[in-house]
Structure 1
Amino acid sequence: MDPAEFWATGDYAVVGDLWAQPGRDLAASLSVEGRDVVDLATGTGVTAIAAAAHGARSVVGVDVTPELLREATRRADEAGVHITWLTADFLSVPLPNGCADLVTSTFGIVFAADPDTALAEARRLTRPGGQIVFTSWSAAGLFGKIRQALASFFPEAPAPWHETADDIRAVAGRDAQVTEESFVMTVESPEQFVSQLEQHSAPVVLGAASLGPVWPQARERLLDTVRAVGDHTGDGFQLPVGYLRTTLTTTTDEPHPTTG
């Protein structure tokens, strides 16, 4: 299944909004004002829209899935910001070398099957002295624990390269600055959250379908993991979610390969 078809499965807009806070935090914490920003694997445009709202000179949101970009366009119009949306694979973006001061990706390019190519393309797009900043789920956080809980059901799934600082530096380089971040995700209940994933999260929808009659067993393990991480409060069920933020700074002498 190609990436566009994969991410068009379910409705990412529904579940993506549950973990949208890191994208807004990323844009708010970076000096985006007056800078040219390219947001890779932009999805519904959370980070791109936030960057535009914080005064970026220009913002380009790149995603392979047209359905998600249509939703991103709707949201940008609603927010009253101008963004250029580009339907493309982040492994080969039809933009010129050095077109951005800042390249971002919130839980996007880290899921590339070929992270070396993904990061090389991000570097190609970044001007000398610019930054690449991306987020990823951590091994110790909610989604890392979910992956670990379900790993035995999907033995052919590749090992992640983005869940620890050491693993990230092994791919991105020893100069990568990796910090631990977190936010709180509030859902109605563990059962409601898992049901949302079953209906709208492409990896879960497709994973459940691939397991067939074994899925109820995997679902119970998923539910147990969510219950163990979170806690009931007066506002619902609160889940602390840990993630990693990686910053790469391009140098003046860094080579810029041409796009294929």
Structure 2
Amino acid sequence: MTEASEADRADHALKAKHRAMWALGDYPAVASQIIPELGSELVGECGVGKGDRVLDVAAGSGNAAVPAALRGAEVVASDLTPELLEVGRQAAAARGARLDWREADAEALPFADGEFDTVMSCVGVMFAPHHQRAADELLRVCRPGGTVGLINWTPQGFIGQMFAAMRPYAPPPPPGAQAAPLWGDPEHVRSLFGDRVTDFDPRRRSVRVDRFGRPEDFREYFKTSYGPTIATYRFISEDPERVAALDAVLDDLAARHLDDGAMDWEYLLVTAHRTAA
């Protein structure tokens, strides 16, 4: 077997694991119940309007894609996990939104160069394991002068801290994979895009989450609904002591961020324009 084919097989296996992880639990509920406003915010910041060609990368169930379609844009929602797309398709139909749903790998998008006016991702593309590949694809399919818009969790924010807290209990990352919250570091994103964008505008913001009154409410919700957390618990499921330790770690994290029944989760909003060259 050649080195290239071995690499292809390893990448295929990795993507299969990612696809399966995001099918665990109920990510559409997380998006609609916990952070419903982020998608509409991203669409607004990208200036999406009627007739615009829009691609939502790692769209999940369409938290950003559906609001873009409701503005009259011609939208493609792409994601690696077909189960999420099916939920999104049904929810969009219920709201009267028309858009195209496509299964696609963010690191190998099946679209032409410069096909879209706006290419965006709302806490989605950050989970592609190879950041440069994903960034290259975002820019490739965006037309010269078009808009790239991202919302990503920051390393120092609540979700970034949650991933750091889970890391000692999770399976080791595959070679070459990068930590998702790096996409919430403006310097990291700037280095990924390089001189291929202009008007690079990173802004730190936060979303207020008031669903969890107690730390254990947060922990149990994420243990049953959020794919990465479910996968981490499954990895240690045969070691009760480690399960109890992770419970305590997540409870402590939530307790430190809860203030009168609410938490603020920091994210990075980035907008930029694709250069003409």
TM norm structure 1:
0.89
Contact 2:169–2:232 (CA under 8 A) maintained in structure 1: no
1:170 matches 2:195: no
Retained in 2: the 8 A contact 1:15–1:196? no
Q: Structure 2: which amino acid aligns with 1:54?
A: R
Percent same amino acid at aligned positions?
27
Residue of structure 2 in register with 1:258 after alignment: none
TM-score by length of 2: 0.84
Cα RMSD over matched residues?
Answer: 1.8
1:172-223 Cα shifts (integer Å, max 9, x gaps): 3276421101110111322222111101111011101112320210121111
Task: Measure how far apart 1:240 and its partner are.
Answer: 0.7
Q: Which runs of 5+ in 1 are unaligned?
A: 254-260
Q: Secondary structure of 2:102's partner?
A: strand
Matched residue count: 248
Of Structure 1 and Structure 2, the greater helix share is in 2
1:50-108 CA-partner distances (Å, limit 9, x unpaired): 1112232x000001111111110111111111101111112222222211100000111
Of 209, 212, 215, which aligns to 1:185?
209
Which of 263, 266, 274 in structure 2 is aligned with 1:239?
263
Kindly indicate whether residue 75 of structure 2 is the aligned counterpart of residue 59 of structure 1.
yes
Among 133, 152, 176, the residue aligned to 1:117: 133
Residue 155 of structure 1, CA deviation: 8.0
Using a 3 Å threshold, how does the CA distance of structure 1 residues 133 and 29 change in structure 2: closer, same or farther?
closer
> How does 1:125-136 map onto structure 2 within 5 Å?
125-136=141-152
Match of 1:36 in 2: 53
The 5 Å alignment of 1:21-170 reads: 21-34=37-50, 35-56=52-73, 58-154=74-170, 156-157=172-173, 158-160=178-180, 161-170=182-191
Match of 1:226 in 2: 254
Amino acid at match of 1:53: L
Is the contact between residue 27 and residue 54 of structure 1 (CA under 8 Å) also seen in structure 2?
no
CA distance in 2, matches of 1:52, 1:24: 11
Q: Report the CA distance shift for 1:150/1:66 in structure 2 as closer, same or farther (over 3 A).
A: closer
In structure 2, distance between residues paired with 1:145 and 1:188: 17
SS in 2 for 1:135: strand
- Alignment-mate amino acid for residue 229 of structure 2: V
SS for the counterpart of 2:184 is: coil
Structure 2 counterpart of 1:108, which letter? G
SS of the residue 1:92 aligns to: coil
